[in-house]
Amino acid sequence: MKKPFLIIAIALVLSVIPMYSFAVKGETLHSWKWYPYIDPEQEIISQDNPENSSDNPPNNQSNEDQQPSGENETNVPNNDANMPKGDLPGWKQVFSDDFEGVTLPKGSFKDCKEEGCQGLPEPTQSNWGAYPNTYDDTAGLCNKGSNRCPTGQKYKFGGVYDPEKTVSIVKENGDGVMKIDMFNDGQKNHVAAMIPKKMAGKKYGRYAIRFKTTKTPGYKLAWLLWADNEEKCKGCEIDFPELELDKKIAGFVHPKGGGQQDSYETGASFDQWHTAVTEWTPGKIKFYLDGKEVKQSGSGKTESTNNIPDEPMSWIIQSESSLDPSSVAEPNSKATIWISWVAGWEYEGKQ
């Protein structure tokens, strides 16, 4: 090889090395907390609950069925629209947002990161961060063959987190709501993972959210607590509410260090207003739906106590593409989430 060509060849190799390092580093930095563990019980739930079959309209009807039903649902009054305010026994309230007093059109949640977005009015600016639009959702990671894919599968549609195009704060039926309009652009899904900043990095806490969604196939909620330091709390994940919108609301507690998760079934549909509460205290997790303790599948217990996470975790209102092959988005479909209020408390008991 002549000398000039050798120099060019060496220069090319050197220029590629930092790009490669950045790509690897980027994935390590950015993917550590945004995928939910796959829940093997999803299959069991589908099989055990014959009701689910009626919730799965044929794909060719899903658009007609879902869109009008979503719009109609907004006419149902939100009877528990009042957000809980103040401390509770053992709990100090540190966060609440009922989305009253501020309306923000789509496009407002731009340049978002976990730490916050750019140019939002208060209190939204202080309250909310979001995964940026450079992050693939879990199915998107899977489709790219990422080693962060928890299922090892490929999906018809992956997604990108896209708060700018999906999230608004609007008034509907007199209630201020955060509205998340996930959608499919024909190629991929646009979804959102919203982060209540004031509940980030807490060790123990009480997390409450009032919400409903359309039942659109192909999209899911994986609203979860995820360890800030994944290495110190391996496998730690607390999911509620979770599952595809055309299934029933479920919850999952993954023990620290891995092993069998506890599964909770509510039998409740996503398309009615519900209040979901997660209570995380030393050695114990409890879920409540509409004020009632949720029971564990199988045992009927109302709490998890096996190797409960004991490191700081953050609350991520993560909504994304389906990870269930029986729930597939129609091209150009839309799935809407309404959140009436969100509230959080710090644990004041003995640690």
Residue with smaller CB distance to Ca ion, 99 or 226: 99
Q: Which is nearer to Ca ion, 98 or 262 (CB)?
A: 98
CA distance 281 to 172: 35
Rule CB under 5 A: say whether 176 interacts with Ca ion.
yes
Nearer Cβ to Ca ion (214/340): 340
Nearer Cβ to Ca ion (122/231): 122
Question: In angstroms, what is the minimal distance from the CB of 44 to Ca ion?
Answer: 35
Among 41, 175, 262, 324, which residue interacts with Ca ion (rule: CB under 5 A)?
175
The Cα–Cα gap between 339 and 322 comes to 20
Helix (H, G, I), strand (E, B) or coil at 13: helix
Return the number of the residue (161 or 341) whose C-beta is nearest Ca ion.
341
Q: x/- binding map, residues 95-134, to Ca ion, per CB under 5 A?
A: ---xx-----------------------------------
Strand (E) or helix (H) holding 126: helix 124-127
CA distance linking residue 86 with residue 33, whole number of Å: 30
**Which of 338, 54, 296 minimizes the C-alpha distance to 180?**
338
Closest CB to Ca ion among residues 112, 209:
209
Residue number closest to Ca ion, CB atom: 98
Based on CB atoms, which residue is closest to Ca ion, 328 or 337? Answer: 337
Instruction: Tell me how many residues contact Ca ion (CB under 5 A).
Output: 6
Helix (H/G/I), strand (E/B), else coil: 255: coil
Q: Closest distance between Ca ion and the C-beta of residue 195, in Å?
A: 19
Interacting stretch for Ca ion, rule CB under 5 A, among 88-96, 173-181, 238-246, 268-276? 173-181
Question: For Ca ion, which stretch binds (CB under 5 A), given 63-71, 91-99, 263-271, 302-310?
Answer: 91-99
CA-nearest of 318, 322, 16 to 194 is 318
3-class DSSP state of 261:
coil
Shortest Cβ distance from residue 262 to Ca ion (Å)? 31
Q: How far is the CB of 212 from Ca ion (least distance, A)?
A: 12
* 137 binds Ca ion per the rule CB under 5 A: no
User: Helix (H) and strand (E) counts for the chain?
Assistant: 7, 16
**How many other C-beta atoms can be found within 10 angstroms of the C-beta atom of residue 123?**
14
CA distance 300 to 344: 27
Using DSSP, state whether 157 is helix, strand or coil.
coil
Minimum Å gap between C-beta 108 and Ca ion is: 17
Distance (Å, whole) CA 41 – CA 153: 16
User: Per-residue string for binding with Ca ion, 314-343, x by CB under 5 A?
Assistant: --------------------------xx--
CA nearest to 280, candidates 301, 308, 249, 299 = 308
DSSP 8-state secondary structure symbol assigned to residue 173: T
Cβ of residue 191: shortest distance to Ca ion, in angstroms?
A: 22
Q: Which is nearer to Ca ion, 98 or 136 (CB)?
A: 98
Query: Is the peptide bond prior to 196 cis by the omega test (within 30 degrees of 0)?
Result: no
Stretch that binds Ca ion, among 132-140, 175-183, 241-249, 250-258 (CB under 5 A): 175-183
Binding-site ranges for Ca ion (CB under 5 A): 98-99, 175-176, 340-341
